[in-house]
Amino acid sequence: MKKTLLRLGTSLAGLALMITALNVNTTCLYVMHQPKLPENAEKLSKFR
């Protein structure tokens, strides 16, 4: 059970990192609704 939870946690952390990187590199279609990102998330940006 512990190995399963560890493997699930690792996969979830990788998925969260991929979603954050995708979110940093895209913009919202609506001008008024661009959510604020954490300062550390800007390190994942392809464009600076």
User: Residue 9: its pLDDT value, please?
Assistant: 93
pLDDT tens digit at each of 48 positions of the chain: 889 999 999 999 999 888 887 777 676 666 666 667 677 776 766 665
Residue 24 DSSP code: H
Q: What pTM value is reported for the model?
A: 0.56
Domain range enclosing 7: 2-43
User: Residue 30: its pLDDT value, please?
Assistant: 61
Domain assignment of residue 16, yes or no:
yes
What's the rounded Cα separation, in Å, for the pair 24 and 27?
8
* Total domain count, the chain: 1
Domain assignment of residue 48, yes or no:
no
User: Residue 17: its pLDDT value, please?
Assistant: 86
